[in-house]
Amino acid sequence: MEKIETNYGLMSIRNRILIFSVLVTFIPSFGMGWLLNSMIHATITEKTEQKLLYSANIIEREISLWFKQRNYDLHVFSNSFVISENLARHFSTQNNTEQETSPPSLYTKKIATYLNSVQKQFDDYTRLFVLDNEGIVVAASNSTDQVPPIQLPGNTTEQIAATNFFKGDVYLTEENSSPLILIGIPLFSKEYDTYVGFLAAEVRLQGLLPLLQAALFDTKEDLHICGALIRLKDGSHFLSTGHSADFVTPENVSNKTSQLFDSPPHLQNFFNYHGTRVVGIAIPLTTSGWGLLITENYVDVFARVTRSRNRNILIICSFALFIGLGAYLFAKQIITPLKALTNGALQVANGNLDVSLPLQKNDELGFATRMFNEMVTELKQSHAKLEQLATTDALTQLANRKQIMKSLLKHFENYQRYSTEFSILMIDIDHFKKINDTFGHLAGDAILIQIATIFKETLRNVDIAGRYGGEEFLVILAETSGEKAKHTAERIRQAVEQHIFTFEKYSLKISISVGVARILQNEKNENTLVSRADQALYLAKENGRNRVVYIADPPAAPLAG
Q: Which residues are catalytic?
A: 471
Q: In what order do the strands lie in the sheet with 277-285?
A: 251-252, 236-240, 225-231, 290-297, 277-285, 268-271
| Helices and strands per DSSP (H, E), number in the chain | 15, 18
Q: How far apart are CA 224 and CA 299, in angstroms?
A: 10
CA neighbor of 91 nearest in space, from 135, 134, 138, 137: 138
User: What is the 3-class SS of 263-287, one letter each residue?
Assistant: CCCCCEEEECCCCCEEEEEEEEECC
DSSP state of 557: P
Q: How far apart are CA 450 and CA 277, in angstroms?
A: 50
Contact 223, 145 (CB under 8 A): no
Indicate the SS3 state at residue 296: strand
68-84: buried (b, 16+ CB within 10 Å) or exposed (e) per residue?
eebbebbeebbeeebbb
Contact 464, 407 (CB under 8 A): yes
Contact 77, 118 (CB under 8 A): yes
Q: Tell me how long the chain is.
A: 561
Q: Is the dihedral of CA 486, 488, 491, 495 positive or negative?
A: negative
Indicate the SS3 state at residue 17: helix
Q: Which residues does 151 contact at the CB level (< 8 Å), separation at least 6?
A: 135, 168
Contact 300, 313 (CB under 8 A): no
How far apart, in Å, do the first and last CA atoms of the chain sit?
140
Q: How far apart are CA 55 and CA 68, in angstroms?
A: 20
227, burial (CB in 10 Å: exposed 0-12, middle 13-18, buried 19+): buried
Contact 164, 185 (CB under 8 A): yes
Q: How far apart are CA 413 and CA 526, in angstroms?
A: 9
Give the phi and the psi of residue 197 in degrees, each rounded to 5.
180, -165
Which residue type, as a one-letter code, is found at position 520?
A: L
Torsion angle (degrees, nearest 10) of CA 303, 307, 308, 310: 140
CA neighbor of 404 nearest in space, from 457, 454, 458, 452: 452
Q: How far apart are CA 423 and CA 414, in angstroms?
A: 13
Contact 451, 510 (CB under 8 A): yes
Contact 523, 554 (CB under 8 A): no
